[in-house]
Structures are given as structure tokens and as C-alpha cells.
Structure 1
Amino acid sequence: MKLKIRSKITSGYIALLLCLIAAVSIIGFQINTLQTERNTLMKTNATVQTLISSLENYTLNMNRAQRGYIVTGKDSYLEPYREARANWEDDWNELHMLMEGRPAQQEYLKSVKLHINRWIEDAGEPSINLKRNNDTIGIKKFYREEVSRSEIQTTMSTLSKIRDNESTHLATEAQRLDSDNNKIIMTLGLFLFVASIVAVFFSSIISKSITRTITRTTEAIRHIAQEKGTFTTRIPITTNDEVRDLGVATNDLLDDLERRQWIQSNAAQIVKNYQGVDAIHQLASIFLSQVAKVTRATYGALYVRNDNESMILEKQATFAGSDKEIGRQEIKIGEGLAGQAALERRIIHLKETDNYQLISTSLGNVPPKEVIIIPIIFEQKTIALLELATLNTFEKLDRIFLKDVVSSLGLTINSVLTRMEVIQLLTESRAMSEELQAQTEELQTQSEEMQTQSEELQAQTEELTNINEQLEERTREAEEKTAELEITKADLERNAEELIQSSKYKSEFLANMSHELRTPLNSILILSEMLADNAKDAAQYEDEEFARVINSSGKDLLNLINDILDLSKIEAGKLDILYEEVNIDELPLYLKQSFTHFGNEKNVAFHVVKDTDVADVIHTDHKRFQQILKNLLSNAFKFTEHGSVSVHLFNPSLTKEQQAISDHWLAVSVTDTGIGIPTSKHELVFESFQQADGATVRKYGGTGLGLSICKEFAQLLGGSITLDSVEGEGSTFTVYLPSLPTGLPEHFDKPVDLIFDVPTLEETPDAMPIVETTTKLADELFKNKRVLIVDDDERNIFALEKTLQQHGMIVDSVRNGRECLNFIEQDRYVDVILMDIMMPELDGYDTMKILRNDMHIELPIIALTAKAMKSDREKCIAAGATDYISKPLNLEQLFSVLRVWLATEVM
């Protein structure tokens, strides 16, 4: 059944009612949302209550744990204290965030945080420190004064208030949600009733309006059809709906048809006017006059290209002015806006024309308002150019008309030009026919000459072919050489990779060799030291001397290993430099304490002088700086038999190159009255494994690495080292170092050559000798302490057993990590473990990890390793070691470490 429009619209409004019902469902969903909000409120309240209880528990746990530790002194009582102190503030922060928007509760929370922190600062930490320091008097005073007891009470009271306020807040919010829910239900019913009445009322009115508009539209279209080609009637628009769109579209169609009719009629009239014109000048004049009249142009000019190959457009006609007054006589394609329009074959429409030629009238001159430049195209070439200026504006319809009318003008211009060219060619052909006869005879003569030239060209062609073959042969040879170069490049890259791998193997070899050399050195040094002590006690002086020689040789070998490793790291670029503050004010005292005994042994005076203007602190690598000074002073005392050794610290004068590195430099000169160095040997002494001569090596010993290391270290620190020496009179080595708080600048990759003025050193009275004292470690702390040695080297086990047993300790030993784990599982009673790192089956790293992580062993584990690389200590500590000692062992250091950790176990 066919439905009327009114019925359709009414059906639409029925659909609207259905939408309203859907809206009711949405509001019902909002009710469910209120229920969800209620649940969230309850959940938040539960979280708040839990956090309040957690804060109460943390506060009470810290208080109980603190008191339990003070009473018992056991660290296990501090675990709840530490846990509560570490976690209470996280719960407080979460609770404070949940209380956002409730300033009263947040103020209470701030009070809780204040009182807890006060209790920790005034009671918790101070009382624990009193117990750790065994300050019985302080503990009694703490209990007597009941320090910060009120803080706990206030905290618990405030948390109770927060809990009560939270319960009140929960009840208030629940009541508010119930009220909102009732309001939504009442509003929903009222809204549904009113919406239904309004929808029915408006559906009836809108239906009548739409049908009325459609009727008017239909009548207007019928009237247009009866007008037979005129388009003056327009459809009235009275609505704002789809029917309005139909009327607007129909009116737009009528406007477009009217515009097209206007364009076509004017274009046809112009074409009709210039039909049959043979002169280009006449054609341009007629066309320009008609176009200017239709578009209401004020000035105009038309340019035509006479020759298809020419890049010049010549002016053929103007409008409203003489040929000389309007425009240039010719335009070059690509030059200026007009030339660019011709080159790009596009229309240029200008609205900013202040600099254009003024338009003359009877009353004066007026600038044009708009200018339009239109290229006239024929066969994708610009054959002419039209330029118009107006005092009004070129409407869109004018521009469409111009574009349409010039589309056919190109063909007409080309036809006129072709006819003119044909006429000219006919005239020229008559003259040329007379010349052809004479030229024919001349051509015959030239033909004979060309035959001769052809034979010569044939010979030249053959010669060029031979040359081309030679070039092809050379090209093949060049390609072969290129392939050979590619192979050579690949070989070089492979060699570079092998060199990098070789350097890696070299570093690994040195590290392993260090381990292999240090392992036997460990037992040599320990046993020689024990042998020397035993010989001294038994008055066996010869045995004591033998032992001291063994010990001294072992230490020399150890120093040699360290020097070789340092040079290897420098050469490989793997030496880490750590810039830190170095206290120069304490340096003289340190040097006195470290080297005075050398002077006393050789009866050589030792002086240290620091200028008053030297800064107390510089920034450099402390360890490398000390190693440079130690090497220089060791050499000075070694090569000085009598006289003195002096150290002078001063500020050097700087050049611009040094100031670019740092404004603050330190110079340290070491002067001796020893054997001196010949001038020819000054550079040689800084090379690796070099000394002044062979006799020096035999007399004084050494490897010649010390000065080489000093030079390399000084350059790595941004400085340098210089030598001033006279053979037989002594030597002065001066080290120049910059203060670099942020490290060496990146653009100073190489050390700067330094030239400084060295002040004269003033002599000072001999320093008082510092007596070195040794502490005997055989005290009561070591007696009956049980030590487990884990080492795969029998010599190390034997040496350690003997020295530990001499101090009253009970020693057990196993050969690898696997045996260590079995021993601990069978008998856990061990006071300390001495753990070697490099062992078969299970090394020290994995053994310590199993003891700590799987077996939960907490007794001290001291790592002993012959690998002395920088990261070894960190790897040992990370694996679970309590402390770390590198081999060869220093017995005094070993017993010092044992005393610390055994004493900690007793406490």
C-alpha cells in the first residue's frame, strides 16, 4: 500500500517515541551506575579501614621491636622494626591520596605522619643506637624519661578519630546516593509523559509543513518547463529540510544553465565577428575589443608569437589606449609574470596591482583593481597571450567566459598565421626557383668534393674503431683491478677482526697469567713470612735472612705482575679513570709516613715542601696519582746512595694550551742526588722495560716499567712528566696534572706538551723518622674458632693452615665448591669460610650463591682470589661474599679482616 508523506512523517515520530523509551533505559542504566558508585564507596571505605589498621600495626610493631631489641640485643627483633619503618609511609601516602578533597581527614593524617617521624627520630633510632653501642646508662635514662611515649599514644588516638570520621562519611554518602536514585526515577516518569505529548503535537505540524513545501516546488518546476528556454523563475524556499535541499539544488541548476547560456551566446558572437579575417593584427584588434566589452575590462593587450620556434611574443593589439602607452612591445617567454604565465601555460589573476600602469580617464589616472593574464594554447604551446585590467573586478563568470573563448582562439590564430606564412612562402618560392638552377651547378661541384671527404672519413672511422677496442681492453683491466682491490679490502677487514680478537686473547691471557703467578706467590709469601717470624723467635738468623729474601723476591714478582697488567690495560684502552677530590693538604704527611723509613735505612735525607698558594684539593684519579708518586720516590731512593730526596708541590705557570684544559694545575717535582741520567738517555728511560744502561740493571735491579707507567698515567690524566738530570749529580722528575672536576674534555684526545718554570726547592730540616709498628694478632678472639678453607691448591691450603693454627684456630679444608656444600650440609658449625674463586667442578662464585640463596647460610665468607681485575671485588660481593682479599695474601690484612667479622659474630 502506498503511504502518504504525512503518514511517513507520523511513523517517524512514533520512532521518536521509541527513542524516548530507549532513553528511559539509558537512565535506568544510570541508576545501575549509582549502585556501582555505592559499591565503589564501600570498597574504598574497606581499603581505608585496612590502611588505618596497617598504620596502627606498623606503629605498634616498631614500638614492640625497638623494646624487644633493647631488652635482648638480638638483631632478629629489629626485623619487624625495619619492615614497618620501610613500609608505613607507603600506606600513609596511599591513604592520603584516598582522602583527597577531605581536608579535615588529611590534617589528621599529617598529624599521624608527624608523630610517627618524631617517635622514630627521638625514640626509635636513638635507643637502637644506644643498644648497639652498649650504652647502658643511656638506655636506663631513655626508659626513665619515657622518651616520645606520648607520640605513640597520640598516633593511635588520631588513627581512631580517622576511622570514626570515615564511618560517618560512609553513612552520609550512602544516604545521598539513595536520595539521588529516587529523584532519577521520578524525573524519568515525568519526562516520558511530557515527551510523548510534545512528539505527537509536533509530528502533525511538521508533516503539514513538508507537504506544503513539496507542493510549491512541484508547481515551480512545471512553470519553468512552460517558459520554453528562459530561466528567470526560481523555486521559493520556506523550510530547512530535505525538501529545501531539493529546491536549492534546482535553483543552482537553473543558475548554472543561465550562466552557460550567457557564455555560449557571447562566445558565439565574438567568433562570428572575426570569421574570415586574414591579418593577425586585425584579428587581435577585433577579439580584444569584443572581450573587453563583455568582461567590462578597462585596459587590454594581446601578444602573438609569429614564429613557432621563437621565444618572443609581439604586441598585436591594445584596448583603450595607443600601442605605445599600453604594455611593452614584446614579451620574452619566462620573463616577468606575463612571460611566466606563457611558459607555464596557466592563468594568473592578480588582485594587488599598486605597481601597475595607471588607467587614463578624462579626469585623471586611476590604478587598476584587478589584472588577469591568460595564455592562448595551441598543440600544447603558448601561441599568444591576453592581458586585461579593470577598475571593477573579474567575477567568476567572467573568468569562465575568458577561459572558454580563448580555447578556440588558438586554432584561429594558428590558421591566420599559417595562411600568412603560405602567402609569404609562395612569394619566396618564385625567387628561390631562379636561384636553384645556379645552385644545382654548384652542388655538382660540391658533390665531387664530398666524395673525396667521404673516403677520408672512412679511414678515420677505422682508426676510431681501433681506439675504441683499446679503451674496452683498458676498461676490462680496470674492472679486474677493482675486483682485486675488493678482495684486498676484505682481507684487511678480516685481519682487523683477527687483530681485535688477538687483543682480546692477550688481555684474557694476562688475566689468567696473573692468576697462575699469584697462586704460587700466595704460598711463597705466607710461608716465607711465617718462616721469618719463626726464625726470629728461635734466633735462627740465617733462616730468617733466607725467608726474607724469598718474601722480598715474591713481592718484587707481584709488583712486576701488577705493572705488566697496568701497561696492558693502558695499551688496550681499558684502564678506567675515576676523577674525584684529592686532598693535597694531607699529601706531605702521607709521603713522610710512607717513605721516611726508606731514607732512614739508606741514611738519605727526605724532605717534602708544599707552597702556601697550592690549593688544598684538586680533582684527579687518586689511585693513579699516588702510583705515580710512589714509582718516582721508589726510583729516587733506589738510585740515591747519599745526599737527599726532596718533593716539592707548587703551582706552575700555564700556557694557553694548558688553560684550555683547566685553569688549575698542580706540579710535583721529585729531586734526588743520585747517579743521574745522561742526556742521550732522557727519552729512553720512559720506554717500557728500559733503564739507562745494562750496568744500571745489574746494580740496582728492576724491570724499567715504573717510569713508563708514570708517563702513561700522567697522559691519561691530561698532564705530562718531564725530566731534568745531569749524570753523577742527580735527577728531577716533575709531574704536571690538571684539576678536572668533570673529566678530560672530549676534544683533547692527546696529551698537551707542557713547558713550565720549576721553582727552586728550599731545603728543610730532616723529618723525624716514623717508627712502623706491627700488631700481633694471636689474641683470644681467634682461639678455638673454626675456619673452613675452600681451595684447590695444596700449597695455599698448607700455608693457610699453618698460619691459622699458630693463632689457635681450628682449620678444615676442602678442594672445591662441591665438597664445601657437602661439608656444610653435614656440619653447619663453622665460624668463617675462606673461599677461593677459581676452582674446578664448582667455582667460588656459584658456591657462594648456593650458600646464600639456597642454603641461607649467614656466616662470614671471605673471598680469596688471584685475579686482580677491577671488577673482581664487585663480582665477589654480588655473589654473596662478606669481604674480599686478593692473592698473594697479606697476613696482617687477612687477620685484620678475620678480627672484624669474628668480632661481629660475637656481638
Structure 2
Amino acid sequence: MKKGSDSRLWQNLRMGIRLKILLGYIFIIICTSISFILVNNQVASMQNDRNYVIQHDFEVRDETSRLEKYVIGMETEQRGYLLTGMESYLSAYEDNQVHWQESYSKLVRLISDNPEQLKNLASVRSLIEHWLNETAVPLMELKQAGKEGQIASFYKDDKGSVDMAQIREWLDAFRTKEKELTELRANQLDESNLILTNTIYGIILFVAIFSIVVALIISKSIVGTIMQINRTIARIASSQGMLSQRIHVHINDEMKDLAESTNQLLEKQEESRWLQERLTEIVTLLQGVTETNMMGQLFMNKIAEMMDAAYGVFYIRSMKGPKKQLTKLASFAAQGDSAAGELIEWGEGLVGQCALENRIFHLTEVPNGYISISSGLGASNPSSLLIAPVEYNNQVVAVIELASFQFFSPTQLELFQEILQSFGTTIHSVESRVEVERLLRESQVLTEELQTQAEELQTQQEELRITNEQLEEQIRYSDERTTELEIIKVELEEYAKQLKQGSQYKSEFLANMSHELRTPLNSMLILSQMLADNQEGRLSKDEQEYARVIHSSGRDLLVLINDILDLSKVEAGVLDIHIDGVLMPELAELIQTEFTPQAEHRKLSFEVVVDANVPQHVYTDGHRVQQIVKNLLANAFKFTHEGSVSLKMSLCERERVMLLLPKAGNAEVLAISVTDTGIGIPKDKHSLIFEAFQQADGTTNRKYGGTGLGLSISRELIQLLGGCLTLESKEGHGSTFTVYIPSLIPEHSDSQGAWREAAASQAARPVQVNHDSVMEKESGLAPAMPETSTFKGKRVLVVDDDVRNVFALTNALENEGMIVIVAHDGGECLEQLEKGMKVDLVLMDIMMPVMDGYEAMREIRKRAHYENLPIIALTAKAMKHDREICLEAGASDYISKPLHLNQLFSLMRVWLTN
């Protein structure tokens, strides 16, 4: 019993093809890894033996030679001393005496693993010590005692030469022995190398054999199963369409899944074939039928047989009367009139409701007494009831009701739905034939009537001829009017073209004027800021205040220039907007931070309120929304002497959105309200304040300054963003300006329809936000100066044809410890660079004579060694797409004039650091 359970468990264990292949590769990898480890260990062992032979044996030989040299040296120095008596020979003798002992000790350490050589080396030591004790030391003592005669007699015996000869003999024998050991180790290395080679070949053969065996086993398990499936499919294909055979697979992997999927496909094909045969029977049965009653009866008899139904009724749509009705056309096993109604209203009972809702009713629990199906032997209630509509061109043309003692199977229900899909066309075809026959009969009657009417038509044709002549006269008059309108259209198009060209000239003029105004303004702002900072402390407080006033006036002039440019761009239709996600809490915090000091200075209460229903992100142009809100708050603070100014952000109610922005569709609309307790605006001045250069008080001695551009620009920007602006104010009681801006979420584009086309057509183009101007407006007068260590000793090439700008920039940069090189046009810039001097950064003006900044930057980038040189483009023209043009020409970054030192230094620090 246990063995059978284990067998079933093994069969149920799933091992996929991928796992089989993976296991084979893992086995090969493991064998290869083991082989590599074994070979690596053997190679490491051989390497250690080789290093031992190379290092140890040669070191022993060298040290033996040094020992011999030191002993011979002692003998030589001793004789020199005996002959001359010079102390230098005695000193050299003593040094060699110390060295031979050190060399001997080192040899003992090197051959400590060889007792035989140690014994030979001990004999050499005994000979050396014997020579020292018996020859060298006594002779030295005799020399020191001045006994020359005894020295001569000592040499007659010549005992010292015998000792030295034996020392050389022993050392030669020692070296010869070491050489034999070296040859022995070399022979052992050769044997190890041969063993390693044979081992590698054996391992390779072993891995190859096992890899082939594993591959054969895995491929057999895969290919064998595939062949089995192919044989089974071939048998099915050769059985002349018999689909009852099935594939049986005993392995549990992807091949089993393939076999099961193939069996399911065969079952589906068998089922589909059965359905097609039944449909063919229905179509063949109803071919050539030209009478609706016969069609209905034939269909009911056949469908009841196919569905195993014991009862059935066929209702057809009735075209008589004003109401929609169903008329009983045919039945199967029905018991007279009591079994089914002859006429059923649309929506009456289950049959009428089926026609009304155009859906199938399938009842599997039929109540007792609902209907009785009888035969000659008895009667009984059905178990299942099916009521289904028949469609043609998405309209119900008939209803079929069937009842059965058994439950309808899924296959029968699918067959029933397939039949109903095409049966509507059959019904329509039969009804069309009946209607054609009826119309044919009526046409015969109408032909006779037409003959009578033909005579009347001849009379009417004469009347029509006269009418046509009148119409031709009217057409000639219309053609003349059309010609006149075409002439007027051409004149209007020419006028529109002139207006467009004039607008373009105006924009170009304002841009050039901006350049001419910003150029002197640039040097004025830089120098006035440097004076106001008073870093060297040379100015008095009054002079420093004068510089602040000059700088403030210049900034006011810059704001006016920017406002005029924005207004001209809006009027010319060239002001782009950039749609992106705006973080509302960040916008609120920015507004709170910027205007709180102004409120404290004017002793006003100021608060920013953001409703909880405001989303974190709103998709619009954040820069333009910020510009609008700042303009409104600036006006509020200007005209409020006491009380409060508040800013509120919320989502607009749907009813108000439909009233103010009906084209916004389902988009969320942000409502931003600025409320103040200031002087208020009279009712008759509500529309006037939105005009350019207009204020509620337009007299020359008005109390409040300003150009009146802020509200005009704000209104135009709001319209570009697809929103609107409302005003609630009463003179002496403050004002509330409310901006309604829709969130331009891309997913809502389909529902916004025409509103997106009208209000967001500009939003489809990318915007180039003049971030320089924005930073100048938001920055304070005295910026935090950059770290001097970043700029100390850096070389900056300033390219500008305006000496005022050059003077201002040179002073500002040199105050930070930078080395400034000046060029007055692009050609001079290239000459400076060609000299080979080191330049860390280039400040490039754009509008210059001879060679402008664009051409100069392109020429610089052509030099391979200046490809990565940081170039910051400076321009005062502020034309559309200036930034892209500068970057395409080779600029690393872009900044517009007038320059703000804090921003310029921040930008320079980034590029110098990089």
C-alpha cells in the first residue's frame, strides 16, 4: 500500500521542462566547479613548490658564497695587518668576523629542515673557529706584542693554510649538495605537472560523459512526450474527422499541460461542430418558406426537438394598432387558448417584459400550477422555463417560450442563442417577401392612378417652367452678391494680415526697447547694489541709503518693463503658458512668507487660508498663477490703510462652475479670493480698472501711484488659463477679487471639449518662463553674497560691447577675488581664447557688433578643448524662445538682463563647482 502511494506521489510531483534543463546545467556547473577547485589547489601547490625552489635554493647558494667571502676576507685583512700593522686592516678584519657569524646564522635558519646539511654546516663552523683560535688570534696577539720573529716561525708550519683549504673544500661540498637537492625538487615539480595534466584530461572526459548522459536523459523526457502527442494528434487527424479520441500523458510537466489544452480544444471543436450541424438544419429547413405561419410552425417543431422541450410558443411582433403587441404565431404541444394568450401587450407578463427589456428569462424553479404539460397518459409541471427575444437591427421582432421537464444544458443554451442571432434575419426575410407581394398588388392599382395623374403633371410642368425662370433670375442676383462678399472677404483678410504684421512689429519694437532699457539698467542695478552693500565701508549711511533708493527705483522700472512686455505678448497672442502640477501648500507658504513682512510694516492683519478640499496638486501654469495672486495682493496692500488683507484658496462649487465656466465640463476649478478692508471701488469703475494704464482714481493728483497694468495683465493671463475673474466691492468697504482657474488635467481633455480648444490652445505649447525676472521680483535688495572661496582666483572672460556693463561686472567680480578678462565682441573673445590662457567661465553677451554671442558660442564649441567650458549667455532682449536659441548655440545656461548679483553668483557657483 505504501509502495502504491509513493508511486502516485511521484507521478503527481511536477517537474517542468525548464526545471529539468536547469538541473542539467546545475549538474554540469557543479562538476565544472569541483574540477576547477581541484585543479586550482594542485596548481597552487605546484606554485608553492616552484617558489620554494626559486627563492630558497638560490638564497642558500648566495648565502654560502657570502660566508666564504667573509672568511676569505678575514684571512686577507689579517695578513694585511701582519704585513703593515695598519689599524684599517684590523677594523676590516673585525667587520668580516661579525658578518660571517651573521651569514652562518642565516644559513642555519634556511636549512633548518635538512639535518644532513646542518651537520655539514657545523663542520664548516668548527674549521672556521679552529682557524680563528689557532692561527688568526695568536698571530694578531704576536703582532700587537711586536714579536715579529715568532710570527715568521709560525708561518713556517703553515697551519692556517690547511684550515682555509679545508673550509673551501667543505663549502664546495655544501654547495654541491644543495645543487643536488634543487635538481631533485625540479624533478618532483615535473612529475606533479604531468599528474596535473593527466588529472585535467580525466576531469574533462568525466564532465563530458556525464553531461552527455544528463542531456540524453532530459531530451528523452521532453522529445519522447512530444512524439507521443504527435502520434496521438496524427491518429485523430487520420480518423476522418472523429474528435472523440483524447491524448493521455503520464508525466507531470508542460507536456501534460499541452496534452490537456489539446483535449480541451478537441472538446470545443466537437461542441462547435455539433452546434454548426444544428444551425445548418434550421437554415436548411426554413429555406424557400414564403409564409409566416408555416415558418413559425416549422421552427417550433425543430427547436423543441433540439432543446428537448415539451412545450413551446412562438410570438411575433404585431404591426397593427398604435401599441406594441405580440401575437401568437405558432405553438408546440400547447393546450388550446388556455395555454397561451393570443395577444400580449409590450411589458405584459414575462413574455411582454422579455420583449420590453430585450433580455432572456431562464427559470429553473417553476412554481406548481404555473403550467401543465400533458400527454395521453398524464400531465406534469415543467422543471425549466426559457423565454428569449429574437432581434433584427437591435429591435425585438419575436419572442420564443420553451418549457422542459429537464434543465437546459449549457450546450443547448449556447445553441439556442446562436439560432436566435440569425433567426431574426429569417423572420425579416419572410415578412419582406409577404410585404413585397402586398406592395405588388397595390402597385397595380397605383399604376392606373398614375396614368390619370400624368395628365395633371403635364399642366404642372408648364407652371414649373415659369417658376424656374423666376428662380434663375434670383440665382443671378445671388451670384452678384456672392462676388461682392468675396471682394469684402479679401479686403478683410488683407486688413487682418496688416493687423498681424503690425502686432509683430509692435512686439519686436517692445523687445528691442526692452533690450535698450535693460542694458543701462543692468549696470545701474549692479553698481547700486554694490554701493548699497557697502562691503568696504567707504559710504556713509546717507550715501548707502541713496544707493538703495537708486536700486529700488531701477527694480520698479524693471517691473514696469516686464509688465509692458507681458501685456504686449498677450495682445500679440505669443505669450505661452506651461501646464504642470502646482503644489498648493507650497504656493500658500510662498505667498505667506513674501507678504507677511509687508503686512507687519503697514500694521495690517494678513492670513492665508487653504480649504481642506483643495487638492495637493492643481494642473495649471504655476508661474502665471503666482504672478496673478501677487498682483492682486499688491493692489490690496496698496489701497488698504488699516484692517486686514486675506487670501483664501478653495474648490469652486459645481453650480457656480456651470454658471461662470460652462465649458470647463467636469474639471476641478480652483477659487482664489483676495479680500481687503481698503478704500473699495465705486460700481461705475469696476470695468475701468481692468483696462491698461487705468485706475479707479484717474486724475493727475491721485493719491495712489502705479501704472494700472497689474489688473489688466492678470485678467488676460486668467483668460489664457481658461478661467475668469470676479469683483465684489463697495466704495469705502473694501474689495474681494476672486480668480477661478480650472485644473487642466490631461485625463479630462475629452470631457472639456470646446473649452480646451478655446481656453487651453496656448497651453499645448511649452513655456519659457523668464525665471530671472521672477527671481529679481522676489529677491530682496541685499542678497547673501557667495562664498569667496568658490570664486577666489577663478578666471572669468566677460564678453560685452557696453563699457558700462563691463565696468559694473568687472568691479563686482573682482570684489569676489576673481580675475576678469574683457572682450568687446565675439571676434575679440576668440582671439583671447586662442592665446591659450586658462579660462574657468565665460559671461557672453548676445547683442554685439561684428560677431554676436550666438556665432561666438558656436565657434567656441567647435574647438575640442573648449567643449566643456561653462558659458553663461547674457541677454536683455527677452524675446520668445531666447533660452532655447542660446542653449542650441552652445550656452551652458542662460540669464536675462538686468542681472541680479545674487542670482548670477549662484549660477556661477553651480557651473564652477561642476
TM range (shorter): 0.3 to 0.5
TM-score, normalised to structure 2, is: 0.44
